[in-house]
Amino acid sequence: MINRVEYMHQKGFLHRDIKPDNFLMGLGRKANQVYIIDYGLAKKYRDLQTHKHIPYRENKNLTGTARYASVNTHLGVEQSRRDDLESLGYVLMYFLRGSLPWQGLKAGTKKQKYDKISEKKMLTPVEVLCKSYPSEFISYFHYCRSLRFEDKPDYSYLKRLFRDLFIREGYQFDYVFDWTILKYPQIGSNPRTRASERTSGVDGPSMDKMERAPGEASGRRNPTGSLNQSDNYAQRPRETVSMSLKEIVSQLSFPSRTIGW
């Protein structure tokens, strides 16, 4: 997911509407591929020839989705690369937590609701937002919020945060996602038999045939590891469905040779 945002930035554009709805997984042999969609609010942030950055401005109307908007966007500051990445952080916490503290706030008008979301977001320390989750998520937010308007983010540093977490948590790089197991339970039933299942005609995605794009594969934890988050999310209401930690860090951690658009 960081790769996708980085690629847009390399091409001179901001997405400006980073949210779960705008990330999709591929099908078939591309089922391990992450795609970023919906460029209706995208904006060029620099001239591709001169590389001159757009000027800093204030008193801008909120562009994007308030739930995932950066603090500076709420404050009316012109968006830049830092804001796409901060928004991605809120997406990750939504995936992990199942909801965000500023959801469900009631207000009479859209502006009043945006103001309430902004206030709640600014009053919620990242340490509280990320409580009970790995400290890498706190580091991610602190880094994004420390960037100045024209700063080029260190995407490699952010990906390395989650790559190291992936390794430390003992995840296996095996292309098996939570949703893969829900659809094809036989794949996740016994890790020792997966190889034979994939060659014995069992219906389902062939992990060996999937395009090897390291940035897109999910990992399963080694049997000795313990998982803080419950994987039994299929029974929860849609609004509170959360992804397990392994899905998040695997989608963030590894570089990809292929860009999904």
Q: Looking at the annotation, which residues are catalytic?
A: 17
pLDDT classification of 160: cutoffs 50, 70, 90: very high
pLDDT of residue 32: 87
pLDDT of residue 190: 52
Contact 152/229 with Cβ under 8 angstroms?
Answer: no
Mean pLDDT for the stretch of residues 58-82: 98
pLDDT classification of 31: cutoffs 50, 70, 90: confident
Residue 73 lies in a domain: yes
Residue 167 lies in a domain: yes
Of the CA atoms within 13 Å of residue 19, those in its CB half-sphere come to: 15
Contact 83/70 with Cβ under 8 angstroms?
Answer: yes
Round the average pLDDT of the chain to a whole number and report it: 81
| Top-confidence residue, 125 or 230 | 125
Residue 111 lies in a domain: yes
What is the rounded CA–CA span in Å between residue 46 and residue 57?
A: 14
Q: Quick one: tokens of 155?
A: 């995407």
Number of structural domains found in the chain: 1
pLDDT of residue 165: 97
| Top-confidence residue, 177 or 197 | 177
| Percent of the chain topping pLDDT 70 | 72
Residue 27 lies in a domain: yes
Supply the pTM of this predicted model.
0.76
pLDDT of residue 242: 63
The CATH number covering residue 51 comes to 1.10.510.10
Instruction: List CB contacts of 162: < 8 A, sequence separation 6 or more.
Output: 136, 248, 249, 252, 253
Residue 155 lies in a domain: yes
Residue 261 lies in a domain: no
Residue 202 lies in a domain: no
Mean pLDDT for the stretch of residues 30-50: 94
Mean pLDDT for the stretch of residues 250-255: 60
Mean pLDDT for the stretch of residues 171-192: 74
Residue 200 lies in a domain: no
Nearest alpha-carbon partner for 140 in 17, 255, 248: 248
Contact 42/36 with Cβ under 8 angstroms?
Answer: no
Range of the domain at 14: 2-175+210-253
